Structure 1
Amino acid sequence: MDITLQQSTIKKQSSIEITGSKSESNRLLLLQALFPEIELKNVSNSDDSNLMTKALSSKDRVVDIHHAGTAMRFLTAYFAVQEGRETILTGSKRMKERPIKILVDALRALGAEIDYVENEGFPPITIHGKRLSKNKVSLHANVSSQYISALLLIASKLENGIELTLVGEITSVPYIKMTLSLLNEIGIETSFKNNVIKVHPSKAQPKPLTVESDWSSASYFFSIVAISDVGTEITLSSYKENSLQGDSCLVDIYKHFGVRTVSAENSILLKKESSEIKPLVLDLKNAPDIAQTIVVTCFILGVPCDLTGLHTLKIKETDRLVALKTELEKLGGSVEITDKSLHLKVSKEIKPMVSIATYNDHRMAMAFAPVAMKHDVIIEDAGVVSKSYPTFWDDLESIGFKITK
């Protein structure tokens, strides 16, 4: 389904409730499968979390997780410790192009039995669940944090826990710390010193946990407020001032665009306070998922930017660097990319009524939506947002966007 967003002026004041974090939800859903005594509230209603829930409860031999990359990584580790169970884990055509070898090699080093069904290093894979007694493994520190988190999430169920050594400079530290904090919250003992992470074998403490709302989903409203007139306010809930989510760095990043964030009990208020904006230079190695939002914000505001630390974007739902360059240039942008950076030059004007391809990538659809604050824009395959934020278009309409479906 393609939709047209007509040029829109949003309300001066509005509020939105955003569903639970996909990142936190998927970690906690796996932990709940390992420790059923855990009770969860405010779980994400995203496709990815629904697929994760379905896969964890499935008794089928073949488990298809479609486009859910996080689920592929986490479930590979989960099924590796399900003693006596054989599982074939597969996904979409794009998922079969996304590498899994780093995680499979690490699990094999711990004693796991995993075979490739089609192409070496890529899904689908056959996992023969068994008890794992080895506990020492090394990974390059600049790999996707999801590989690291997958190992940490099952670690307390390993006979001897895990001692994971990360070699080199660590990227996506906040996501690793999120995983460790959630383990600590349910009573599992961990340590993270220098480049060595230890998780001890232990039982979880039964307790109710409330999932914080998703900061990645909040990013689109930071963008909208940044593009809005001074004085515009949007309240978002439910958020914690001391968040575990790496994307909470939005608060500091969007100060650059004149957006002030005020924390209240269980919510944040975004307020546009100034409009003087300078070129942006940013290393996003710890929060690559918000790169698309930031680049589009800069483009709409006519702000040049140099973003680095983006090496993991090439193996997401699409090659996000190529996708950003292609779609921004349709709109009139001038973009240069490397395999780990993006450089946006100031554009003279935005072309109206451009059709934005979304590449089966939810973040492409949502990141480009604020273009409608300047010109009409078409978003192709708009339903792709259900992967992480099913009510996104409804929420945009509630704050003043005009959408034709």
Structure 2
Amino acid sequence: MKLHLSAPPENLLNSKIQITGSKSETNRSLLLQALYPNIRIENISNSDDAEVMQKGLKVAQGTVDIHHAGTAMRFLTGYFASQENKEVVLTGSKRMTERPVKVLVEALRELGADIAYEKEEGYPPIRIKGKRISNSKVSLPANISSQYISSLLLMAPSLENGLELQLVGKITSVPYIKMTLALLSQIGVDNSFEGNTIRVLPKASVDDVTLVVESDWSSASYFYSIVALADIGSAITLSSYKKDSLQGDSVLAKIYRELGVETSFEGNSIRLVKTGGPQSDNLDVDLADAPDIAQTIAVTCFGMGMGCRLTGLHTLKIKETDRLEALNTELSKLGAPISVSDKDLTLLPSNKINKDVAIDTYNDHRMAMAFAPLALKTDLYINDAEVVSKSYPDFWGDLAKLRFLVEEME
């Protein structure tokens, strides 16, 4: 599906949007619910990733196809490894078979798991024969994707002796690790995170508990971008959000204040208001703890005529696509003076924006949504726009509520 996007009749916005639950929190909660069935979950994400996670958790024997869902691949690898009498082949899309799982598989094997590669060493598909795991100590490189770490932590309370995880080196994506540990605490699982050592104690059962999933801050990022690119006085209210968010992407409020957007909490909602221009002509930010918002921020800065230097982006190379190279290609089409390495991005200030550019999305939901706000500055085309269903199926409909022209092309 190819979409043509144009700006609303006026760039002065005032709307309310309900955002679906965080897929990060949802998938963690779903796995815990599979281990402890008396857990209830509210505000579950309606994303493709959450749907494949739910389906995957119900399989006992056979093939589990998680399509493009990297979170499900990592989380289900740990889950099935610890489930006695279950044997599955975990696979996914072509891109998924190119995304490494070796670090996680080796850690699980060290704990005693039975996992074999069906094709290429280090990559899906993998065959997992669930078994009782009694070993409790393992180490992982600290700078890898937090999903590997969370996969081990989520299965840990169901293990006979719990888990002691040693992280070697400088830790990245700390908020996602803390999210996982906070959810464990909410269901009564004792855990600690001191220095580079994480401990999770075993727990045979949990009391009845309801986990309420906060709405997705990554999805909120696109509306921060829209407000930043709109006229002063524009405002969008988003629900449902918490002041004490578990999500690392909630750092958006601080970052976008530098771009002229103020955030206020009103009950369970956040209100974004464009109060002025950017505080400088160049934004310098380390996104090691929130890499999923890099695309949005880079596009926002380009649309505002600003420069930026975004660092801490080493995990973007192994996402749905190589996001740094994809950003380099698509922003260059629009006329951006941009350069990338394997872990950072530099954009120089420029007021030139090429018109009527078609943005390729590379099977990556965030590429589609990050570029959409630029329709406030120039007409755009988004190729394969349906990819947004991976995390935010309602995105184009919500954009239409803001009076953007969202036109499907033949």
Task: With the length of structure 1 as denominator, give the TM-score of the two structures.
Answer: 0.99
Q: Answer with 268-277 or 295-304: which moved more.
A: 268-277
Counterpart for residue 109 of structure 2: 108
Deviation for aligned residue 1:82: 1.0
Within the candidate set 364, 367, 372, 2:375 is matched to 372
Q: Match of 2:28?
A: 27
2:368–2:388 Cα contact (<8 Å) kept: yes
Deviation of 1:86 after TM superposition, in Å, equals: 1.1
Q: Matches of residues 61-100 of structure 1 in structure 2 within 5 Å?
A: 61-100=62-101
Residue 399 of structure 2: aligned partner? 396
Partner residue of 1:200?
Answer: 201
Q: Which of these residues, 348, 352, 359, is aligned with residue 362 of structure 2?
A: 359
Instruction: Encode CA deviations 1:227-269: one digit per residue, 9 max, x unaligned.
Output: 1111111000000011000000001000011110001211100
Secondary structure at the counterpart of residue 156 of structure 1: helix
- The amino acid that maps onto 2:50 is S
Q: Aligned AA for 2:110? A: A
Counterpart pick for 2:320 among 312, 317, 321 = 317
Distance 2:123 2:163 in 1: 25
C-alpha separation in 2, matches of 1:200 and 1:59: 26
Residues 11 and 399 in structure 1, CA contact (< 8 A), matched pair in contact too: no
8 Å CA contact retained: 1:10, 1:400: no
Match of 2:3 in 1: 3
Alignment of 1:100-179 (within 5 A): 100-179=101-180
Identity %: 61
Contact kept, 8 Å, 1:277 with 1:303, in 2: the verdict is no
SS of aligned partner of 1:4? strand
Distance 1:135 1:87 in 2: 23
C-alpha displacement at 1:60, in angstroms? 4.2
Name the counterpart of 1:306: 309
Q: Normalization by structure 2: what TM-score?
A: 0.98
Q: Tell me the residue number matched to 1:291.
A: 294
SS of match in other structure, 1:257: coil
In structure 2, C-alpha distance between the alignment counterparts of 1:316 and 1:255, rounded to whole Å: 28
Q: Which runs of 4+ in 1 moved over 6 A?
A: none
Determine the C-alpha separation between the residues in 1 that align with 2:259 and 2:305: 11
CA distance in 1: counterparts of 2:89 and 2:37, whole angstroms: 23
Q: Which amino acid aligns with 2:257?
A: K
What's the CA shift for 1:276? 3.8
What letter matches 1:217 in structure 2?
S
Aligned counterparts of 1:10 and 1:302: Cα–Cα separation in 2: 17
Q: CA deviation at 1:11?
A: 4.9
Q: How big is each residue's C-alpha offset from its partner over 1:28-82, in whole Å with a ceiling of 9 and x where there is no partner?
A: 0000001000001100000000010011112441110000000000000000011
- State the distance in 2 between where 1:395 and 1:276 align: 26
CA contact under 8 A between 2:368 and 2:382: conserved in structure 1?
A: yes
Given that 2:12 and 2:231 are in contact with CA atoms closer than 8 Å, whether structure 1 keeps it comes out as no
Q: Which moved more, 1:342-351 or 1:279-288?
A: 342-351
2:402 is matched by which residue type in structure 1?
Answer: I
Kindly state the Cα deviation for residue 156 of structure 1 after the two structures are TM-superposed.
0.4
d(CA) in 2 for partners of 1:302, 1:348: 5
Structure 1 gap ranges (5+)? none
Residue 7 of structure 1: how far off its partner (Å): 3.3
Measure how far apart 1:142 and its partner are. 0.3
The one-letter code sitting in structure 1 at the alignment partner of 2:275 is: E
- Equivalent runs, 1:237-386 vs 2, <5 Å: 237-278=239-280, 279-386=282-389
Residues 224 and 370 in structure 1, CA contact (< 8 A), matched pair in contact too = yes
Deviation at residue 12 of structure 1 after TM alignment: 2.7
Aligned counterpart, 1:210: 212
Over the aligned positions, Cα root-mean-square deviation in angstroms equals 0.8
> Comparing 7-16 with 196-205, which one deviates more in the overlay?
7-16
2:125 aligned partner, one-letter code: P
Q: Deviations over 1:258-307 (max 9, x none)?
A: 11000121110001111144110010000000000000000000110011
Report the secondary structure of 2:85's partner residue: coil
Residue 288 of structure 2 aligns with an amino acid whose one-letter code is: K
Q: Choose which of 221, 231, 239 in structure 1 pairs with 2:223.
A: 221
* C-alpha distance in structure 2 between counterparts of 1:140 and 1:63, whole Å: 27
